[in-house]
């Protein structure tokens, strides 16, 4: 299922044109949205995650009209915002289990299995009883992936996830995302060129609310 974005525009009350007539077709796989601070990435990510409304435009995910069928989108959405605050005293497994309840995974046995599988995939099984407060940046981001992947979302939106990660953590993180999102549309917003060049199958460059380029990463880099 692809995500189709047509002629999406968004201005803020202060007159900032955060998005100007954006059109993109995003196929399954990892897709990079590359742009500097203030380019409009978070605005677009929040609109795709049904948290904000554009002034104009249409967005379809398969047959789902994203701007009108919000509940349908949310059932298949994994959203990892830029600064997700988690209580430092919360314990890893407990909290993931709690989010799984919120996601509607009610059967206890099924939920235990899902939580265990996600903690193992994100390499957090050994620290499942620890508090989040002691986690490194990489561990926190991997925990964010575990939360985002609950319920097998088909549309996964991650906003600037590698900020503050060291290079080794960054590569591990991107690999995790690309493996876990293999059969989904995964949109990764970032200002770091290497994030898109390493694992994204396609990419767009955004600046001042406009798409400057839409291509395969290796072609963009040849043209730099």
- Cα–Cα dist 4/187, whole Å: 13
**Which residues within the stretch 176-205 sit at the binding site for ligand ADP (CB under 6 A)?**
none
Q: CA nearest 161: which of 126, 124, 200?
A: 200
Q: What does the DSSP assignment read for 80-105?
A: E-TT----TT-BHHHHHHHHHHHTT-
**Chosen residue from 32, 35, 54, 81 binding ligand ADP by CB under 6 A:** 35
Which among 14-22, 95-103, 177-185, 195-203 is the span making contact with ligand ADP, rule CB under 6 A?
14-22
- Cα–Cα dist 209/182, whole Å: 28
**Does 81 sit near ligand ADP (CB under 6 A)?**
no
**Chosen residue from 30, 32, 40, 54 binding ligand ADP by CB under 6 A:** 40
**Chosen residue from 6, 9, 21, 42 binding ligand ADP by CB under 6 A:** 42
**Does 43 sit near ligand ADP (CB under 6 A)?**
yes
**Chosen residue from 3, 5, 8, 18 binding ligand ADP by CB under 6 A:** 18
Question: 3-state DSSP call for residue 67?
Answer: coil
Cα dihedral: 166, 129, 117, 201 (round 10):
-20
Considering all CA atoms of the chain, what is the largest pairwise distance in Å, rounded to the nearest integer? 53
**Which residues within the stretch 105-124 sit at the binding site for ligand ADP (CB under 6 A)?**
none
Half-sphere exposure of 110 (CA within 13 A, CB side): 9
Nearer to ligand ADP, 32 or 35 (CB): 35
- Tell me the site size for ligand ADP, rule CB under 6 A: 13
Q: Output the smallest distance, CB 162 to ligand ADP, in A.
A: 13
**Does 14 sit near ligand ADP (CB under 6 A)?**
yes
Q: Output the smallest distance, CB 73 to ligand ADP, in A.
A: 19
| Angle (deg, nearest 10), helices 92-102 and 108-121 | 130
Nearer to ligand ADP, 43 or 76 (CB): 43
DSSP state of 192: -
Phi, psi of 90 (to 5 degrees): -70, 145
Nearer to ligand ADP, 55 or 179 (CB): 55
Provide the binding-site residues for ligand ADP, judged by CB under 6 A: 12, 14, 16, 18, 35, 37-43, 82
């Amino acid at each position: 299922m692809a995500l189709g974005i047509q002629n999406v525009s968004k201005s803020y009350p202060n007159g900032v044109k955060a998005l100007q007539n954006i059109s993109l077709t995003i196929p399954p796989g990892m897709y990079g949205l590359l742009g500097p601070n203030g380019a409009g990435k978070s605005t677009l990510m929040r609109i795709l995650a049904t948290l904000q409304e554009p002034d104009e435009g249409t967005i379809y995910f398969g047959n789902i009209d994203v701007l009108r069928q919000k509940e349908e989108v949310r059932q298949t959405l994994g959203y990892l915002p830029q600064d997700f605050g988690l209580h430092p005293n919360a314990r890893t497994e407990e909290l993931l289990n709690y989010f799984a309840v919120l996601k509607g995974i009610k059967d206890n046995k099924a939920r235990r299995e899902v939580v265990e599988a996600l903690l193992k995939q994100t390499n957090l099984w050994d620290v499942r009883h620890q508090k989040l407060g002691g986690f490194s940046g990489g561990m926190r981001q991997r925990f964010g992936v575990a939360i985002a992947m609950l319920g097998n979302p088909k549309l996964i939106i991650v906003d600037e996830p590698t900020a503050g990660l060291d290079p080794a953590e960054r590569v591990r993180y991107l690999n995790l995302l690309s493996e876990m999102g293999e059969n989904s549309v995964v949109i990764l917003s970032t200002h770091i060129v290497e994030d898109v060049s390493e694992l994204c199958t396609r990419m767009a460059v955004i600046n001042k609310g406009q798409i400057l380029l839409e291509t395969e990463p290796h072609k963009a880099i040849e043209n730099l």
